[in-house]
Structure 1
């Protein structure tokens, strides 16, 4: 993973914490969680406050996610809102954190001037034993605390202020006035700086969970659809009258579901020709073919002429695999007819030609699912399913690791937003993955 770290492809774009007062506040949050305080004089954190350096120091990558549910968070600065989430068991942790920052921006700014916010994103379950435990999560509550009890003091001052206004002769209570002065010196003017979060309950929408090898949960008006390994505990047993279950290897049913619910774009010239989508898929397929059939190939200087020569020399292997000829045929069909009927392709190839509908609210989740089903496209896997990419990367040899890093630097990392817009049609604000 050293090469990935060198180019910020893992644990990148984090906020460095080196100021002694911020480290002290972070330690107070760790101690509140029953964890050992850090001895580091600098470390980095993501949006939730997770630090890869502290995880290594504690020998516990799950120190903020102990049961893979009820995720902990530590907020030292409003600047965390713009950071990625690099370690989570749920794909929507980032969107929930964004919602919390959006709803409570004034309080977060005010409290973190003097204190640290920490707590848990509480669900209705404390441990996930089967699929039903995941499906029972309808909403989450941010249980928010502060090390110096700034929130409690602000709440106390607010109540005393209300009493001063509403109770006759309350202004004669010298002890109460003295307490209000004492609290105001600590909290400031709460009329201008709201210290108590306004909203802490948020809906738990469609998500991916890392439990049981990875589970996709899609929510529609009258039904919930679960896509996962059929060996996952609770598959087809949890609420079968309300939940539809699809095996992750059942490409036909998955595509039918995504198409029926309007979550994907079918292969049409209107978006394929301008996006370069098939060219990208072809490049990824060829790289994967070479990796599997010719691992000694010079990945550091592949070009069009070399690739064509390799294809001719390995025509039998290319034909037996069938993916490259299929993409070439699909490109010709789309150029001639403006579309490609998916019924003309076998189920293993269909996901090479579709993408998530760019304006659908589940576009990130659908893109993640497609990237899992098209593992040869390591660029899309990196964009939408970093856990899956890192697992695949570990199995690559050194030459292909270097090739993957160079490809990511030359494509996605050159301009992430432009790349996502061109290839996947995304017009997005914040990133949730």
Structure 2
């Protein structure tokens, strides 16, 4: 992973924590979780407070996600809202955290001046034993505590203030008044500073979970659709009322579901030519075939002479795989007629020629599913399915790893928003992307 770290393709854009008071607050939050304090004087955190350095120190990447459900969080600074989430079991963790930050910004800004917030994103289950456990989660609640008990002191001060306002004799209680002064020195004027988060409950709708090899859950007005490994516990081959189960290898049903629910943008010249997505996918397939033919070689896709020479020398391999010629023919037909009969393409290959419908609420999740079904497109997988990308990267040879890192640096990192907008039509970027 050294290349990825140096290129900031893993654990990039994190917030460095080195001020002693912030380290101390983080350690108090760890103690609140029953974890031993870190001995590190400097570490970095993501939006949830996860630190790769601390995970390495204690030998547990799931120290904030012990059962891969009811995710823990530590908030040291409001600036965490701008950070990515680099380790999670649910694809919507970042969205839920961002909603929590947005709905409670005043309280977070006020509390983190003197304290840290920590707690759990609680849902209806404590462990996930089957897909049914995942489906039972309809909403989550943020259970929030504070390292220095700022929230507890604010609640106590509010109760005492209410007593003074409602009980006439309370004004003569010197002990009560002195306690209020003590608390106010810590909390400030709670009439002006909103120290207690207002909104704690949020919806838990469409998402990907990394349980059982990966589970995609899509929610529509007519019901829920689950896409996963058919061997996953709780997967039902029948279709119970309001829940449909589709195997991750059933490309025809997956495609029909996504297309019929308006989640796919089918191939048309208007967007395919402008985006260059089919050219991109053809390049990804060619790079994959080149790696297959020569694991120690480095593709040079930007060199037309190299491409033509390689295609000539490996014509049998290219023809046997079939996807590169298929994409070339698709681009030719789209250029000549403006449309393509997707039903003439085999279900597995259809995903090479589509993208998630721009503007659809599930655009990111749908692109994640497409990336999982077209694993050769490592660029799309890095953008939408980072865990899948890292798993594939671990199986690449050294030379191909250099090629992958170089391409991601040159093609994607230089203008991430522009790249996503051009290739995938993503116009509205989440703040945490």
Instruction: Identify the TM-score tier after normalising by the shorter chain.
Output: over 0.9
**Residue in 2 that maps onto 1:201:** 201
Aligned equivalents of 1:194 and 1:171: distance in 2? 25
**Residue in 1 that maps onto 2:71:** 71
Matches within 5 A, 1:231-270: 231-236=231-236, 240-270=240-270
Q: Secondary structure at the match of 1:231?
A: coil
Aligned equivalents of 1:301 and 1:274: distance in 2? 20
Give the CA deviation at 1:238: 9.5
Report if aligned partners of 2:237, 2:245 keep a CA contact under 8 Å in 1.
Answer: no
| Count of equivalent residues | 433
Q: Does 1:344 align with 2:326?
A: no
Aligned equivalents of 1:184 and 1:143: distance in 2? 24
Matches within 5 A, 1:195-234: 195-234=195-234
- Please identify, of 286-295 and 38-47, the stretch whose mean Cα deviation from structure 2 is larger: 286-295
**Residue in 2 that maps onto 1:42:** 42
Q: What do residues 22-69 of structure 1 show as CA deviations (whole Å, max 9, x unaligned)?
A: 111111111111111000110010000000000000001110000000
Give the CA deviation at 1:169: 4.7
Give the CA deviation at 1:148: 1.5
**Residue in 2 that maps onto 1:163:** 163
Q: What do residues 354-406 of structure 1 show as CA deviations (whole Å, max 9, x unaligned)?
A: 10011011111000000000011000000000000000000000010000001
Matches within 5 A, 1:314-325: 314-325=314-325
Q: Secondary structure at the match of 2:16?
A: strand
Report if aligned partners of 2:298, 2:403 keep a CA contact under 8 Å in 1.
Answer: no
Aligned equivalents of 1:393 and 1:307: distance in 2? 23
Q: What do residues 121-156 of structure 1 show as CA deviations (whole Å, max 9, x unaligned)?
A: 001100000000000001001000011111011112
Give the CA deviation at 1:329: 0.7
Report if aligned partners of 1:299, 1:399 keep a CA contact under 8 Å in 2.
Answer: no
Aligned equivalents of 2:223 and 2:397: distance in 1? 43
Report if aligned partners of 2:83, 2:432 keep a CA contact under 8 Å in 1.
Answer: no
Matches within 5 A, 1:48-197: 48-197=48-197
Aligned equivalents of 2:295 and 2:58: distance in 1? 38
Q: Does 1:289 align with 2:289?
A: yes
**Residue in 2 that maps onto 1:369:** 369
Aligned equivalents of 1:128 and 1:348: distance in 2? 30
Change in CA separation of 1:432 and 1:367 when aligned onto 2, cut-off 3 Å:
farther
Report if aligned partners of 2:50, 2:64 keep a CA contact under 8 Å in 1.
Answer: yes
Aligned equivalents of 1:240 and 1:57: distance in 2? 46
TM-score (norm 2): 0.97
Aligned equivalents of 2:136 and 2:18: distance in 1? 40
Report if aligned partners of 1:64, 1:73 keep a CA contact under 8 Å in 2.
Answer: yes
Aligned equivalents of 2:382 and 2:402: distance in 1? 15
Change in CA separation of 1:59 and 1:307 when aligned onto 2, cut-off 3 Å:
same
Aligned equivalents of 2:4 and 2:241: distance in 1? 45
Say what the alpha-carbon RMSD is for the aligned residues: 1.4
Aligned equivalents of 2:254 and 2:92: distance in 1? 21
Give the CA deviation at 1:300: 6.2
- Please identify, of 268-277 and 363-372, the stretch whose mean Cα deviation from structure 2 is larger: 268-277
Q: Secondary structure at the match of 2:158?
A: helix
Q: Does 1:356 align with 2:377?
A: no
Q: What do residues 87-130 of structure 1 show as CA deviations (whole Å, max 9, x unaligned)?
A: 00000000000000001101111111111110000011000000
Report if aligned partners of 1:91, 1:208 keep a CA contact under 8 Å in 2.
Answer: yes
TM-score (norm 1): 0.97
Structure 2 alignment gaps of length 5 or more: none
Change in CA separation of 1:432 and 1:246 when aligned onto 2, cut-off 3 Å:
farther
Aligned equivalents of 1:304 and 1:167: distance in 2? 86
Report if aligned partners of 2:82, 2:432 keep a CA contact under 8 Å in 1.
Answer: no
Q: What do residues 203-229 of structure 1 show as CA deviations (whole Å, max 9, x unaligned)?
A: 101000000000000011121000000
Aligned equivalents of 1:282 and 1:375: distance in 2? 13
Change in CA separation of 1:423 and 1:97 when aligned onto 2, cut-off 3 Å:
same
Q: Secondary structure at the match of 1:80?
A: helix
Q: Secondary structure at the match of 1:296?
A: coil
Report if aligned partners of 1:92, 1:432 keep a CA contact under 8 Å in 2.
Answer: no
Give the CA deviation at 1:314: 1.1
**Residue in 1 that maps onto 2:275:** 275
Aligned equivalents of 2:340 and 2:159: distance in 1? 66
Give the CA deviation at 1:171: 2.7
Aligned equivalents of 2:369 and 2:305: distance in 1? 34
Report if aligned partners of 1:364, 1:432 keep a CA contact under 8 Å in 2.
Answer: no
Change in CA separation of 1:300 and 1:260 when aligned onto 2, cut-off 3 Å:
closer
Aligned equivalents of 2:304 and 2:129: distance in 1? 50
